[in-house]
Amino acid sequence: MLFKYPELLWAFFLLLIPILIHLFQLRRFKKTPFTNVKLLQKVVAQSRKSSTIKKWLLLFSRVLLLSGLILAFSQPYFAKESASYAKETVIYLDNSFSMQAKTENGTLLQDAVQNLLQGLPKDNTFSLFTNDKVFTNITLMDIRNELLSLPYTYSQLGFKDILLKAKNFFSEDEKSVKYLVLISDFQNRTAIQESDTLGNIQTFMVRLKAENLDNTVLDSAYIAEVNAATIDLSVNLTTTAALETIPVSLYNDDKLIAKTAATFDKNRKSNVVFTLPSNEVIRGKIEISDIGLPYDNQLFFNINQKDKIKVLSVSESDSEFLKRIFTEDEFIYADVQMNNLNYSILESQNLIILNELKTIPVSLKNTLSNYTQKGGHLMIIPSFDANIESYNSFLGNYYSTSFVNRLDEERNVTEINFDHPLYKNVFAQRVTNFQYPRVKSYFITRTTAPKILSLQDQSAFLVGLDGLYLFTAPIVNTNSNFKNSPLIVPTIYSIGANSLKSPELYNTLGQKITIDVKTVMASDNILKVSQKEYEFIPEQQSFSNRTTLTFDYNPNKDGIYVISEESRPIQNISFNYPRTESESIYADLDILNSNATLNNLTEVFETMEKDNRVTELWKWFTIFALLFMLAEVLIQKIFK
We report the CATH number of the domain holding residue 522 as: 2.60.40.10
Q: Which of 198, 170, 137, 85 is nearest to 596 (CA)?
A: 198
Q: Is residue 32 part of a domain?
A: no
Contact 155, 178 (CB under 8 A): no
Q: Which of 562, 586, 585, 558 is nearest to 294 (CA)?
A: 558
Helix (H, G, I), strand (E, B) or coil at 73: helix
What pLDDT band is residue 335 in, cutting at 50, 70 and 90?
A: very high
What pLDDT band is residue 444 in, cutting at 50, 70 and 90?
A: very high
Q: Are residues 533 and 391 in the same domain?
A: no
What does the pLDDT average to over 474-484?
90
Q: Tell me the pTM.
A: 0.65
Q: Are residues 335 and 479 in the same domain?
A: yes
Residue 484 has pLDDT above 80, yes or no: yes
DSSP sequence for 48-66 = HHHHHHHHHHHHHHHHHHH
Query: What integer best gives the mean pLDDT of the chain?
Result: 82
Instruction: Provide the number of structural domains found in the chain.
Output: 5
Q: Are residues 321 and 298 in the same domain?
A: no
What pLDDT band is residue 171 in, cutting at 50, 70 and 90?
A: confident
Q: How many Å apart are CA 265 and CA 567, to the nearest integer? A: 47
Q: How many Å apart are CA 356 and CA 379, to the nearest integer? A: 11
Query: In 80-163, which ranges are E strands?
Result: 87-93, 102-103, 106-107, 126-129, 134-138
Q: How many Å apart are CA 400 and CA 406, to the nearest integer? A: 18
pLDDT at 98: 87
- Show contacts of 156-159: CB within 8 Å, 24+ apart: 156/94, 156/96, 156/98, 156/131, 156/187, 156/189, 156/190, 156/581, 157/92, 157/131, 157/190, 158/189, 158/190, 158/191, 159/190, 159/191, 159/192, 159/193, 159/196, 159/587
Residue 60 has pLDDT above 80, yes or no: no
Residue 379 has pLDDT above 90, yes or no: yes
- Determine the Cα angle at 295 with ends 292 and 300, to 5°: 130
Contact 434, 486 (CB under 8 A): yes
Better pLDDT: 129 or 195: 129
pLDDT tens for residues 257-286? Answer: 999 999 999 889 999 999 988 778 889 999
Q: Are residues 227 and 206 in the same domain?
A: no
Contact 487, 416 (CB under 8 A): yes
Candidate ranges 21-25, 44-48, 243-247, 617-621; pick with highest mean pLDDT: 243-247
pLDDT at 141: 86
Contact 300, 576 (CB under 8 A): yes
What pLDDT band is residue 77 in, cutting at 50, 70 and 90?
A: low
Question: Looking at this protein, which amino acid is placed at residue 587?
Answer: A
Q: Is residue 200 part of a domain?
A: yes
Residue 634 has pLDDT above 80, yes or no: no
Least confident of 51-60, 87-96, 401-410, 588-597: 588-597
Q: Are residues 346 and 461 in the same domain?
A: yes
Better pLDDT: 611 or 211: 211
pLDDT at 554: 86
What does the pLDDT average to over 469-495?
90
Q: Which domain holds residue 254?
A: 216-303
Residue 185 has pLDDT above 60, yes or no: yes
Q: Are residues 294 and 420 in the same domain?
A: no
Least confident of 115-119, 128-132, 390-394, 480-484: 115-119
Residue 59 has pLDDT above 90, yes or no: no
Residue 546 has pLDDT above 70, yes or no: yes
Residue 29 has pLDDT above 60, yes or no: no
Q: Which of 334, 381, 335 is nearest to 355 (CA)?
A: 381
Residue 84 has pLDDT above 70, yes or no: no
Contact 553, 132 (CB under 8 A): no
pLDDT at 199: 65
Q: Are residues 90 and 113 in the same domain?
A: yes
Total Cβ atoms within 10 A of residue 73 = 16
pLDDT at 591: 61
Query: Domain ends where: 281, 303, 325?
Result: 303
Total Cβ atoms within 10 A of residue 458 = 9
Q: Which of 574, 116, 509 is nearest to 304 (CA)?
A: 574
Contact 350, 546 (CB under 8 A): yes
Cα distances from 186 to residues 282, 293, 304, 557, in angstroms, run 39, 16, 40, 23
Collect all residues with Cβ–Cβ distance below 8 Å to 501 and sequence separation of at least 6.
Answer: 514, 515, 516, 548
What does the pLDDT average to over 512-529?
82
Q: Are residues 603 and 567 in the same domain?
A: no
What does the pLDDT average to over 51-55?
69
Residue 343 has pLDDT above 90, yes or no: no
Better pLDDT: 622 or 300: 300
Q: Is residue 550 part of a domain?
A: yes
Total Cβ atoms within 10 A of residue 243 = 16
Q: What phi, psi does 62 have (nearest 5°)?
A: -70, -40
Q: Is residue 71 part of a domain?
A: yes
